[in-house]
Structure 1
């Protein structure tokens, strides 16, 4: 009879936005590290809006990136190619097109806040990444959000009611303020064991090092 694994479950807080490509890349790299190290983790996602002032009509993604960051069309194409290759290596499909749009994500974060109460936040977060990047769906649209909720086993009518009520708007704003007041200005931002912060997609090896450090300290 084998003895139970004495290692604790590690808390990992991930501050991210569902329209941030590096957030899904970073998570999948973290997931690889967790699997490689055999670490059990409790993941909690926290809201961050890359573009809180984005209007309901959204904006062409390439135009937005060029306008916001001053990149050229060639640099944008290179970044998309890099992300597409990274995603493929991690088993995730980025399907960028010339019509890809950036959208407001406040409603998505409210739905995620509700889903946390239902114990389904993590699968919903991953479903929203897929909806936006792989399926090129508008994750500011209520019906798209409700479809994603249904896809992960949540009640669609309850999801729609949660969005319509606005009950999660205040809590989401408070959580956003908490993280920005603690210096988070870019995502993904991952906090390991409430102690170590890594920003950006750091790769499986770096995440594995932090995991081992946290577990050795816990022991």
Structure 2
């Protein structure tokens, strides 16, 4: 008999720093209460910039243009993210040369990795490669290297990346979430019952999760 009491669907994008913070807080809440063996997690795609060219765009320029903020505000936001990251043991290494990239290839590989039970390992490697190491996660060679580091085969990855139906599948999944009202990330869906958008605190995640693990006396 399965011990899984809670399925968590995490809708996210690799270039969203608050997805990293939110998931780290979620994990801390889970581990703190020893719920990890009763939870199944699946990651789903939501591209924030589906039209981003392969070469990407300077991150600060992108943020200033997209959100209509000043460079000074962008710098303050970066510093806040760096501080939040340190609290959850994650390094955001922003520089003047930091870029934002197209994430379609990443999502294709994450969908493939799920079938092998390596999805969470891959997403950790990808966000670390991007935010900490400054890697171009739209570059095929970079993706193959990261994928191999978690146990994926290069030939299989290339086959999925070049398969038009695999790319179409990402569109279908994203559109399904949009039709359900999802418009931002991270969004977490708990047992198809409750959806929460935005990075929450550890305490808030505990409050959200606890009812799923309460048992009748």
Query: TM-score, normalization: structure 2?
Result: 0.94
Task: Extract structure 1 runs of 4+ deviating beyond 4 A.
Answer: none
Q: Secondary structure at the match of 1:197?
A: strand
Against the structure 1 CA distance between its residues 66 and 217, is the aligned structure 2 distance closer, same or farther, given a 3 Å change threshold? farther
State how 1:3-14 maps to structure 2 within 5 Å.
8-14=4-10
Q: Secondary structure at the match of 1:198?
A: strand
Q: 1:101 matched to which residue of 2?
A: 99
Q: 1:3 matched to which residue of 2?
A: none
Q: Secondary structure at the match of 2:109?
A: helix
Q: Which whole-Å CA distance do the structure 2 matches of 1:213 and 1:157 have between them?
A: 44
1:86-120 CA-to-partner distances (Å, cap 9, x unmatched) read 11110111001100001111111111111112221
Question: Which residue of 61, 66, 69 maps to 1:71?
Answer: 69
- Equivalenced residue count is 214
1:205 aligns with 2:200: no
Q: Which whole-Å CA distance do the structure 2 matches of 1:23 and 1:218 have between them?
A: 34
- The answer (yes or no) to whether the contact 1:8–1:215 under 8 Å persists in 2 is no
Q: Which whole-Å CA distance do the structure 1 matches of 2:89 and 2:127 have between them?
A: 13
- The answer (yes or no) to whether the contact 1:87–1:93 under 8 Å persists in 2 is yes
1:33 aligns with 2:29: yes
Instruction: Give the root-mean-square deviation of aligned CA atoms.
Output: 1.6
Against the structure 1 CA distance between its residues 167 and 117, is the aligned structure 2 distance closer, same or farther, given a 3 Å change threshold? farther
Q: Shift of the alpha carbon at 1:216?
A: 2.7
Q: Which whole-Å CA distance do the structure 1 matches of 2:49 and 2:27 have between them?
A: 27
Q: Which whole-Å CA distance do the structure 2 matches of 1:156 and 1:134 have between them?
A: 23
